[in-house]
């Protein structure tokens, strides 16, 4: 990414251990509950798709590839869709009360203001769903 790009960054403290958060970020059936349908596998180099159906008959596909995988610590994957070529990086840091979760989507060009705003709103919604998923008993 060049210095001319912007990033969406969301950080929050979660009252669950990194292992539980990691499962939600890396198990396809759980990813489908808070993010999108997918064929994710936690293997560097694995290419996968996230598919969103905002309304019947409309599918939005995001092409991804796992770039970094450090269990319970870091997950990064490319996110390519609708002219956006970005990287999503999840960082999990253990805390005394659970996990500090950091999500960064980097690579928004200056001319992608609408995509940037959509991503900021979208990630807030996705993370609210993630919170709900994590709050359920195992």
Helices (H), ranges, the chain: 18-26, 28-34, 113-135
pLDDT in tens, 10-27: 999 999 999 999 999 999
Query: Is the domain defined by 6-135 classed in CATH 3.40.50.300?
Result: no
pLDDT in tens, 84-109: 999 999 999 999 999 999 999 999 99
Residue 2 above 50 pLDDT?
no
* pLDDT the model gives residue 60: 87
For residue 135, the tally of other CB atoms under 10 A from its CB is 10
* Local confidence band at 3 (pLDDT 50, 70, 90 cut-offs): low
d(C-alpha 6, C-alpha 109), whole Å: 6
pLDDT in tens, 19-57: 999 999 999 999 999 999 999 999 999 999 999 887 888
Residue 67 near residue 76 (C-beta atoms within 8 A): yes
**CA–centroid distance for 97 within its chain:** 22
Q: Which residue has the higher pLDDT, 126 or 82?
A: 126
């Amino acid at each position: 990414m060049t210095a001319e790009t912007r990033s969406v960054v969301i950080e929050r403290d979660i009252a669950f251990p990194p292992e539980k958060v990691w499962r939600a970020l890396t198990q396809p059936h759980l990813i489908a509950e808070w993010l999108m349908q997918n064929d994710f596998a936690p293997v560097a180099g694995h290419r996968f798709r996230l598919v969103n159906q905002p309304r019947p008959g409309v599918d939005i596909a995001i092409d991804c590839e796992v770039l970094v995988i450090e269990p319970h610590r870091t997950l990064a994957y490319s996110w390519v869709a609708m002219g956006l070529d970005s990287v999503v990086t999840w960082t999990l840091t253990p805390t005394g009360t659970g996990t500090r979760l950091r999500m960064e989507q980097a690579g928004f060009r200056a001319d992608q203001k609408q995509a940037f705003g959509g991503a900021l709103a979208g990630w807030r919604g996705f993370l609210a769903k993630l919170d709900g998923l994590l709050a359920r008993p195992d």
